[in-house]
Amino acid sequence: MAHDHSKYSNALSAKNGKFRLSALALAVASATGALAQSTPAAPIAETAPVPPPSPGEAKSLKQVTVTEKADEVQGKDSLQTTRTGVGKGNQDIRDIPQSISVMTEKLLDDRKIDTLKQALHHTAGISFAATENGTDQDIRLRGFPIASTGDLFVDGMRDPSQYDRDVFNYDRIEVMRGSASMLFGRGSTGGIVNQVTKKPFLADQNELIGTAGSRQYYRATGDFNMRTGEDSAARLNVMINKADNGGAKIDKSGVAPGFSWGNRYPG
């Protein structure tokens, strides 16, 4: 009987242990549920509405920065230029190591210059020697004759002929001082003079100028530019000049038409 009582005690202890574990698990679950029920939900933050501005209140907008390259001035609107084509390409004057002077069309018109020889009086490094026929063969750049050595150019092409050069169709005159054989081949070490002719541009612009003076001096020039399409334009320049000039008569005229397409606004 003692043995049986021991077995009964062990079984009762095991049942009591299981009962205690079950009660403990039930108590933990009840506490967790009570904690979950007693914890209130976090309130949702609400954004206060922004009141509309009053009619008299000034509005302040954010700063806007626009970066863009300014369009190059077209036509006769600039006394100076920062670009040149004397280096066999359109580039900034500052990128060419030689000394360069550029006389624009507006500068030629403002000074009432008629010939290339008159224009070169307004730049440094130019001197003139006496000649018999009054042509441009006496022009010297840094002491070197430019006509006889082939240092006169029209749009980058050599212009060695002996004649009176009128500026009615000049867009600008470029004078480059110093050796230029790397760009233009044979020539003197004085430099070169490049005559740039007028080109059509994308705008409508017409101009007619007349001049009268003593000794039966008469001169008329016309510059007519017309835009013909989205990227095309035509230009016509005409000139007539007559004078008695004390026996040394002047009787010359010229016509210079031009048409170009594929033009684009600069920039």
Convert the pLDDT of each residue in 194-248 to its tens digit: 899 999 988 899 999 999 988 889 999 999 999 999 889 999 999 999 998 777 7
- 116 against 3, higher pLDDT: 116
Mean pLDDT value of segment 125-132: 76
Residue 94 DSSP label: G
Count CB neighbours of 103 within 10 A.
23
Q: Tell me which residue of 96, 125, 137, 124 sits closest to 189, measured CA to CA.
A: 125
Helix (H) and strand (E) counts in the chain: 4, 14
Q: How high is the mean pLDDT of the chain?
A: 76
Q: Identify the pLDDT of residue 267.
A: 36
Dist CA 191 CA 215 (whole Å) = 37
- pLDDT tens figures, 39-76: 455 555 566 666 666 666 667 788 888 876 665 555 56
Q: Could you tell me if 106 and 76 are in contact, meaning their C-beta atoms sit under 8 angstroms apart?
A: yes
- pLDDT tens figures, 152-192: 889 888 887 778 889 999 999 999 888 777 677 777 778 88
Structure tokens at 38: 């007693």
